[in-house]
Amino acid sequence: MTQQQPPLPTTDPARHDVVIVGGGAAGLSAAVTLARSLRDVLVLDAGEPRNAPAEGAHNLLGREGTPPLELLATGREEALAYGAQIRPGRASTARRTDDGFELTLADGDTVTARRLLLATGLVDELPEVSGVRELWGNHVLHCPYCHGYEVRGRRIGVLGTSPNALHQVFLLRQLSPDVTFFLHESPEPDDDGWEQLAALGITVVTGRVRELAREGDCLRAVVLEDGHAFPVDAVAVQPRFVARGDLYEQLGGTLAENPMGTHITKDVAGATDLPGVWAAGNAGDLSAMVGASAAQGVMAGAAINADLVMTDLRAAVEARRFSARP
């Protein structure tokens, strides 16, 4: 009896086992994982890494402080070395087909895949205060774990935009004795909150903030609408995080909402509510740092490969049964 042979690799250069949308830490880690399992994998990279303005990626074992663009360049080299394909470009539309997915790129080309991984990241919706966007990723930060150490012991202002601002204040107070809480748009603390702020010696400033005064690329002060200026060395803000979920919604998915923003719902291995669609990194986890995003990419890549293995196994068994019929 002839043994059933495994499926041959596709000969269609536009059709792949897996298309990964997003060339950041999550997408490239998934590409390495899949390519090491000999999968035909294509990464579509729009070239808009969220952490590009940052000087270094932190809490990343073995690569602590590596500039984000350098880290991605190394990741691309590793993925390519294992046979993954990386294509610059943006996927503008996605639809389900009889045997997978078809994506249309911004340049009009189309690619197809048996499985789809969305590693599209998120967009930081920043407060509409002059100077915030201009200094974002340098003197303006949001994550005490990603960039707090770099401003330790300095004068830190916290621009309140949500109820989460109070928690951010307490985390930053661990890093500096000089923290000022600008209420701006955040609600006033309750009695317990005021007592906690007083116990830590944190200055609270009421009134709306007009701008972050700067000289070139250097932050100088937080300026209120009444003109009163407070010298600071760094400002922390809490953006609203919005997952890049257009493709997910086009395929019939619905973005979920939490106090931080909108995201794609997924399980621990990255599987979403849509069959054949996985998510990894900030698209599905708004708080994931670089290391966590990379780990999620590995998990999703392994899960997708296992799913394809079992799909092909079922097809092989069915083909064997069919060939054995009289």
Q: Render each residue's pLDDT in the chain as its tens digit; 326 residues.
A: 333 333 334 446 568 999 999 999 999 999 999 999 999 999 999 999 988 888 999 999 999 999 999 999 999 999 999 999 999 999 999 999 999 999 999 999 999 999 999 999 999 999 999 999 999 988 999 999 999 999 999 999 999 999 899 999 999 999 999 999 999 999 999 999 999 999 999 999 999 999 999 998 899 999 999 999 999 999 999 999 999 999 999 999 999 999 999 999 999 999 999 999 999 999 999 999 999 999 999 999 999 999 999 999 999 999 999 888 87
Residue 221: closest CA among 162, 139, 164: 139
pLDDT at site 325:
80
3-state secondary structure at position 130: strand
Phi/psi at 93 (5° precision):
-140, 155
Tokens representing 101 are 């997915």
Judge whether 135 and 38 are in contact, CB under 8 Å: no
pLDDT at site 11:
45
Separation between Cα atoms, residue 266 and residue 285, nearest integer Å: 9
Phi/psi at 72 (5° precision):
-65, -40
pLDDT at site 324:
83
The strand order across the sheet containing 234-236 reads 140-141, 234-236, 156-159, 179-182, 203-205
Separation between Cα atoms, residue 246 and residue 120, nearest integer Å: 10
pLDDT at site 112:
97
pLDDT at site 250:
98
CB atoms within 10 A of CB 275: 10
Residue 29: closest CA among 229, 297, 234, 280: 297
Q: Which residues are CB-neighbours of 211 under 8 A, at least 6 positions away?
A: 129, 130, 131, 223
Amino acid at 210: R
Angle between helices 165-173 and 191-199 (to 10 degrees): 20
Q: Which residues are CB-neighbours of 199 under 8 A, at least 6 positions away?
A: none
Tokens representing 176 are 């500096």
